[in-house]
Amino acid sequence: MKELMRSNNPVEIAYAQALLADSGIGCVLLDQHAAALDGSIGALPRRLCVGDDDLAEAQTLLRDAGLINKEGPQ
């Protein structure tokens, strides 16, 4: 698994997950429970990860959607 993006914005994360699902790319959301426990103050961003084989396609998809602006997590 490789980290695709990280964000404190739950709407942005949900949008990214929907785009990936529509393209048939599986993903895993990490740190969602820890982020909820911090009181939603934004101290712990959620991380969206994809399989190694899907990374390049997922990066292109999210870059085209304006969710990431370069390769690697932001």
- State in Å, rounded, how far the first CA of the chain is from the last one: 16
The whole-number pLDDT of residue 4 equals 95
Task: Kindly give the confidence (pLDDT) of every residue in the chain, 74 residues in length, as a single tens digit, with 9 standing for 90 and above.
Answer: 999 999 988 899 999 999 999 999 999 999 876 766 666 666 788 899 999 999 999 999 999 999 998 655 55
The whole-number pLDDT of residue 8 equals 87
CA-to-CA distance for 7 and 47, rounded, in angstroms?
7
Question: Is the pTM of the predicted complex or chain greater than 0.95?
Answer: no
C-alpha separations of 33 from 23, 38, 65 in Å: 26, 9, 26
